[in-house]
Amino acid sequence: MTQAKINPAILRWARQRLGLTEAEVARKVGLKDKPERLQMWERGENLPTFRQAQELARTLRIPFGYLFLTEPPATSLPVPDFRVLPESEQGLFSPDLEDVLNDALRKQEWLRERRIQEGYPPLPFIGRFSWQTAVKLVSDDIRQVLALPLPTARDAKSAEEHLRTLVRHAEQAGIVILQSGYVGSNTRRTLSVTEFRGFALADPYAPLVFINARDAVNGRIFTLAHELAHLWAGTTGISNPRPELITEGQPGVERWCNQVAAELLLPGEILAERWQNQPLTIDMAQKLAREFRVSVLVVLIRGYEIGILPEEAFRRAYAQALQEMQQALAKKPENANDGGDFYRNLPKRHGRLLLGEVAHALREGSILYQEASQLLSVTPQTLETILHEY
């Protein structure tokens, strides 16, 4: 059989880019009992057949021609990267993140063109402030524009309801909110919370926020608030916002967005009233976290930032809460609550706002069923099922 003269360095790069072991790739390409064959290919001691090379390209999610390049292709994300990562991981990204981002950009471009053609006015709050603006001024404006209660979790009976309220109000203001824990409809390609928690695509006609649904619900609430701050500052980018005291290596805009998010979810004045100079205990912090539907870390950081917690007491409680959070994540590193019913999750994955726009475009004949199916990555039959209520 004809051998494919692939570049072994490209094969090794493509495998490592996906974080797969040699044994895992060997199993996926039908060499379960012969992993040493793949090792020989990577060392250049042997060559695969053309059929095997095609299977390698499919498994490693690269174009077939990449295997014959002289060196790995230069890759970069099409939007700014604000993530705080270990030095060894800076600038790196998975094909999963790349595909999710490109899909969101494609959806945004379609909606932007449609809204402009329909005479839709630009949204005045996108880029209304710079990221040096006073935090409370921005959080108050977000609350006013989105018509959110004060505090935002005031009427929420659970964290899930709090998140649904935030999403609903954001969509009513014209912001597309996408929530998914995997790439497209492929539940095997799960997204990593460690890699990213969300991103914002700032645009006056079609602003979009993506939330990694593999995160815990409190984490998703904070990410949404963080990404809303990005929109108000007019800054597009990928983030991994965490309610932790991180300053070294963190871009100034990320620290600012964290502060805006914290003030939006946990207003300092209200927190001070609730605390009422009581002694700091984890039980007290947990009680406030349940009331405001945020994490204990957010409560502690806010209390320290607004000056109601002494530094020594804060550091002690913060270290304990952070340790408990890390232990919980070690037991269950990433939330698996994005599975379940395919049709029930579609409104989250594509956003009710976007689905409504697609349904309206179909009814007026400004988009074909095939184009709409491609936009939503579903079959025409599935499209009929999910859009009848919009």
Q: Are residues 102 and 145 in the same domain?
A: yes
- For residue 281, give the DSSP letter: -
Tell me if 350 is assigned to some domain: yes
What residues contact residue 152 under an 8 Å CB cut-off, 6+ apart?
143, 162, 165, 166, 264, 265, 293
Domain with 52 in it: 8-68
User: Who contacts 374 (Cβ-Cβ below 8 Å, separation ≥6)?
Assistant: none
Residues 169 and 268 in one domain: yes
Other C-beta atoms closer than 10 Å to the C-beta of 32 total: 10
Domain assignment present for residue 3? The answer is: no
Q: Residue 377, class by beta-carbon neighbours within 10 Å (0-12 exposed, 13-18 middle, 19+ buried)? A: middle
Is 259 a member of any domain? yes
pLDDT by residue (tens digit) across 5-42?
888 888 888 887 777 788 888 888 887 777 788 888 88
Nearest CA to 199 out of 233, 171, 225, 237 is that of 237
Q: Do 266 and 252 touch, CB atoms closer than 8 A?
A: no
Q: Are residues 60 and 132 in the same domain?
A: no
**Whether 325 and 351 share a structural domain:** no
Measured distance between the N- and C-terminal CA atoms of the chain, rounded to whole angstroms:
54
Q: Beta strand 198-201 with 237-239: parallel, antiparallel or unpaired?
A: antiparallel
Span 212-256, pLDDT tens digits: 999 989 999 999 999 999 999 999 999 988 766 655 667 889 999
- Please write the tens of the pLDDT for every residue from 107-133: 999 999 999 999 999 999 999 999 999
Question: 194 and 163 in one domain?
Answer: yes
Residue type (1 letter), 20: L
Examine the domain organization and report whether 294 and 194 are in the same domain.
yes
CB 65 within 8 A of CB 52: no
Whether 59 and 181 map to the same domain: the answer is: no
State whether 62 and 146 are in the same domain: no
How many whole angstroms separate alpha carbon 366 and alpha carbon 171? 22
pTM for the predicted model, two decimal places: 0.84
Q: What is the CA radius of gyration of the chain?
A: 23
Highest mean pLDDT among 37-41, 239-243, 265-269, 381-385: 265-269
Write down the pLDDT at residue 52: 85
Burial of 132 (0-12, 13-18, 19+ CB in 10 A): exposed
Cα–Cα distance for residue pair 187/115, rounded to 1 Å? 31
Q: What CATH number does the domain containing 25 carry?
A: 1.10.260.40
Whether 210 and 127 map to the same domain: the answer is yes
Residue 178 inside a domain? The answer is yes
Total H helices, total E strands in the chain: 17, 6
Do 128 and 196 fall into the same domain? Answer: yes
- Same structural domain, 312 and 363: no
Question: What DSSP element (H or E) covers 190?
Answer: strand 186-190
pLDDT digits (tens, 9 = 90+) for 35-62: 788 888 888 888 888 888 888 888 888 8
Q: How far is CA 249 from the centre of its chain?
A: 20
Bridge partners of 198, per DSSP, are: 211, 239
DSSP-derived letter for residue 120 is P
Using CA atoms, how far apart are residues 329 and 197, in angstroms rounded to an integer? 15
- Quote the CA–CA distance of 185 and 140 in Å, as a whole number: 37
115 near 216, Cβ under 8 Å?
no
DSSP string, 132-156: TS-HHHHHHHHHHHTT--SSTTTT-
Q: Who contacts 298 (Cβ-Cβ below 8 Å, separation ≥6)?
A: 218, 222, 243, 262, 265, 266, 289, 292
Residues found in the chain: 390
Q: Is residue 80 included in any domain, yes or no?
A: no
Indicate the number of domains in the chain. Answer: 3
Q: What strands lie across the sheet with 176-180, from one edge to the other?
A: 176-180, 208-212, 198-201, 237-239
At 170, the pLDDT band (50, 70, 90 cuts) reads: very high
Flag whether pLDDT at 86 surpasses 80. no
- 18 and 94 co-located in one domain: no
